[in-house]
Amino acid sequence: TTDDAESVVTTDPSSEFETLTAKVHFVDLAGSERLKRTGATGERAKESISTDSGFLGLGNVTSALGEKSRKASHVPYRDSNRTRLLQEPLGGNSQTVMIACVSPSDGDFMETLNTLKYANRARNIKDMVTINQDKSSRTIALLCYCPHRKCTSAENEEDSDSDTDTEDKEEESAQYGLEPVELTSGISIKQRLIEELERSQKQIQLRPQHYEDKLQLVEEQIRATQEEHDTGLASFSE
């Protein structure tokens, strides 16, 4: 069995390229010969028995995944180490290819028939292949695009026409793997962040004046209270 599982795409903001990482498994499912026909003894016989038990667990998983009429039934991935390791390639996020080796000899008829039955069950397994793109890397690339685009526009504002500007947008969109709708959304997010930052700066600048006005009001209240107190003492003395 050959499978390519768990592909992850990451974007480096400092680079012009995307990084693709993937896991590739090459698995030998062993033969389907019967132990009596092989004539194995001792350690070889024990190895064959262990292999057959693992193959049985893999067959149970394949049957559970390949049955078209199954309704959210339990898939026994944990019944063997082999199926636990192959949880992604078998019905998961991967591309899986299975090669069944058969023999044209009449003496191998039963083994060939069993192999074809197993391959037929495995053919019914449906994988769900998707690109696991790192969301944080995509967001960073989107945010880094905005100031880069502003700088480019400022430098080429006088000697660029609409056609050249459109080509630049297409090149940068392809470079960062972003759609026009996503670029517009990213620019809007950047503008909102800038507006919020400007409002925060204005509030910080207005705070000293606010505290000065408040202090002046308190001082006026203290003076008025002192004057009333002095007036009251003068009236009491008279």
- Residue 61 and residue 227: Cα distance in Å, rounded? 93
Cα end-to-end span (Å), the chain: 112
pLDDT at residue 8, rounded to an integer: 46
pLDDT digits (tens, 9 = 90+) for 105-157: 888 888 888 888 888 888 888 888 777 766 666 666 666 665 555 545 444 55
Token digits for 185?
């959304």
Q: Between residues 106 and 25, which one has the greater pLDDT? A: 106
Residues in a beta bridge with 3: 25, 96
The yes or no reply on domain 2-132 and CATH 1.20.58.1980 is yes
Q: Where are the domains of the chain?
A: 2-132, 134-233
What is the tens place of the pLDDT at every residue in 191-211?
777 777 777 777 766 666 666
63-83 pLDDT tens trace: 888 775 555 567 888 887 778
Question: DSSP letter at 68?
Answer: T
Q: What percentage of the chain carries pLDDT values higher than 70?
A: 52
Identify the band that residue 4 occupies on the pLDDT scale cut at 50, 70 and 90. Answer: very low
Tokens standing for residue 91: 């019905």
> Residue 57 has what pLDDT?
78
pLDDT higher than 70, residue 220: yes
Q: Rounded to an integer, what distance in angstroms lies between the CA atom of residue 237 and that of residue 81?
A: 102
User: Which DSSP helix (H) or strand (E) runs through 191?
Assistant: helix 180-237
